Structures are given as structure tokens and as C-alpha cells.
Amino acid sequence: MSEDRRLAVLRAIVQDYVETSEPVGSKALLERHRLGVSAATVRNDMAALEEEGLIAAPHTSAGRIPTDAGYRFFVDRLSGVKPLSSAEKRAIATLLDGAIDLDDVVDRTVRLLASLTRQVAVVQYPSLTRSSVRHIELVPLGGTRLLVVLITTTGRVEQRILETGLDLTEETAERMLASLRSDVNGATVGKTLADAAGGLGELPTQVDPAARGLLAAIAAELTEVLVEQREERVVLAGTSNLIRAGEDFSTSIGPVLEALEEHVVLLKLLGTVTEQGDTVAVRIGAENPFAGLQSTSLVTTGYGAGSDLVAGLGVVGPTRMDYPTTMAAVRAVATYVSRILAD
């Protein structure tokens, strides 16, 4: 029994099932692929593949469909890289080139990815953790409140309103703010956010004692923003594509939609991927740790300006998915948007 042919059969099953969304039988396989053997032989191969847990039959005397393990094998060993058409490449380039600011880039990216893959696209805003401080601005708001604005190298702006308890309209307060402004910037600009938080922790002992209380409060507030990175956001598009693929989910699509609303979950999924280089990661079905997404597959990768990967992006769809095409699209979009972000 030829090992090679058995894998060819697996590949053929995956391809046909993805295309037709119907269990594929031995005869149908022969019509669409030149395997050079008879139906009976294919049946033997199928029985072996089923034994190995790579395919399964929904019921007696129906065709076979790939299992999660089957898709995994296909993705790892059987699928080549499918290049994008040049029309698609051009569409990506022109669409993203028209973006006018960071929000727009993210918005266009997520819509592009959704329409390209015809699935649900997820794009994480460039994350704070790997970016660094470009500037920190302190703006008195009229009363006793102070607006702290943090600007990162990725162009992201975070703001925070701080109750100081001091009357900031007084002249002494203005002078104090001016010196604070330069001190804080001196201690943070250019550092990664984590380092900057550390740098702020050492500042209080070096400055005018009169401003110490205020500075401590600002430092605490900044540290919170820097370390907590609570502000991470994700954007979705193409949710309606779930409907089209509705019957592919073993369960209803309700739980899937619910899971997609839990942005924290999505962030976690996108977060792990940014740590492992620029490869495209695929999570298939039950490989996924989150209950609502166990009948879906995720195709994700990292993106960002320069060599630093600062965020993740990807799509989620049914396990019955055209992995080569989807992976190519995800990779291409990530590459282009990274280029755009690098200015």
C-alpha cells in the first residue's frame, strides 16, 4: 500500500470537501482527480486514513470528511503556498495606500481582509507593549484636573484624566507643570513602555520636593496605562460571512458570535501569535482553547512597523476552509499593512 498515494487521497478529500461542502466518496474522488487506481483501492486507503483518525464518516454509507487532525496534516504537510493573483495584490496596495491615519488603516485592513477571504476578519490595534514612548504631554483642563496624553512610536495616542487636588490655574502650578513635563519626557522618551514605567518609578527622588506628591500621582497613573495595556482594541468585519458558512458549525453560530464579542479572548488569541515571528499560525477546531470557537479555525499572524511586531491580525472561519488561499491572503495583508505603517 503506497504511503504517497494515501496522502494524495487525503489531499484530494480536503480539497473536494472544501469546495463542495459535501462528504466525498470514493467514486466522486476518481472523477475529479487522476489517481490512476480504482475506486476499491481508494476505499482501502480511506479505511486506513480513517483508522489513523484523519478522516471520518458522518454516518454509515456517506462519504468522508476530514477531521481536525486531517486538516492539521493537510496544512502542515500537504498544502503548497498559493500565490495571490496580481489583481488581488493591486487591490490590496491601492486600498491601503489611500488610508489617511491609523484608525483608517485599521478599518481598511479589516474590511479588506474580510472581503478577500470572505470570512470574519480580526485586526488588533497596534499594541502598546512592544512600542515605545514618543512623547508625553500634560494639559491642565481648567480646574484641578490634568489631562495626560501618551504618544507612542506607532502613532497611537492614549489619554487619561487625573484629579490632582491642586488648583492648576495658579502660576506656581504652571511652572511646576513645565518642569514636570520635561522631567517626565526626559525619563521616558525613546524607551519601551515597560522600561519607561520603570524609569518613572525612580524619578520622584530627583525633583523639587514641592512637586513630589503630584509627580508620584502622575507616575502611578502612567505606570498603570503602560503596564496594564488595558486599552488594547480589536476590530471585526465580515461577521455576515458566518451566515453563509452557517451549516459548517457543528453547533449553531450563536456561540461563535458570542465568542467574537469577547474581545479579550480575541486579543489573547492574536497576542500569542505576535511572539512567534512573522509566520502564519493556524488553529484548527478543537485545538482552540476557547469553547465558543471550537468548531472554527483561526488563521493569524503578526504585523507592525519595522522589525518589531506590534499587533496581530487574522481571520476566523469554519474548519472547512480553503487554508492555502486564506493563509496567503492573511500573510499578504499583514505584509502590506506593515509596509504602510512603516511610512
Partner DNA sequence: ACTGGCACTCATGCTTGGTGAGTGCCAATT
Partner DNA sequence: AATTGGCACTCACCAAGCATGAGTGCCAGT
**Please, what is the minimum distance in Å from the beta carbon of residue 54 to DNA?**
13
What is the C-alpha separation between 81 and 283, in angstroms, rounded? 17
Contact call for residue 195 and a copy of itself (CB under 8 A): no
| Total binding residues toward DNA, as defined by CB under 7 A | 27
Q: Are 154 and 166 in contact (CB under 8 A)?
A: no
Q: To which H or E segment does residue 318 belong?
A: strand 311-318
- Residue 130: all three cell numbers together: 512592544
**Residue with the three cell numbers 504517497:** 4
What is the C-alpha separation between 293 and 258, in angstroms, rounded? 9
Contact call for residue 93 and DNA (CB under 7 A): no
Taking CB within 5 to 8 Å according to partner kind, which of a copy of itself, DNA, none is near residue 2?
A: DNA
Q: Are 142 and 166 in contact (CB under 8 A)?
A: no
* C-beta closer to DNA: residue 39 or 151: 39
For 45-144, strand residue ranges (E) read 55-56, 65-66, 120-124, 133-140
Q: Hey, is 175 helix, strand or coil? A: helix
**Please, what is the minimum distance in Å from the beta carbon of residue 243 to a copy of itself?**
4
- Residue among 63, 126, 302, 312 that touches DNA (CB under 7 A): 63
**Residue 307, number of CB atoms within 10 A of its CB:** 6
Site for DNA in 14-53 (CB under 7 A): 23-28, 36-41, 43-44, 46-47, 50
Site for a copy of itself in 135-164 (CB under 8 A): 135, 137, 139, 141-142, 147, 149, 151, 155, 157, 159-161
Contact call for residue 62 and DNA (CB under 7 A): yes
What is the C-alpha separation between 159 and 225, in angstroms, rounded? 9
- Residue among 22, 97, 247, 261 that touches a copy of itself (CB under 8 A): 261
**Please, what is the minimum distance in Å from the beta carbon of residue 247 to DNA?**
10
**Residue 172, number of CB atoms within 10 A of its CB:** 11
Of 84, 79, 82, 81, the residue nearest 13 (C-alpha): 79
* C-beta closer to a copy of itself: residue 62 or 257: 257
**Please, what is the minimum distance in Å from the beta carbon of residue 57 to DNA?**
6
Contact residues toward a copy of itself (CB under 8 A) are 101, 103, 134-135, 137, 139, 141-142, 147, 149, 151, 155, 157, 159-161, 231, 237-240, 242-244, 252-255, 257-258, 260-261
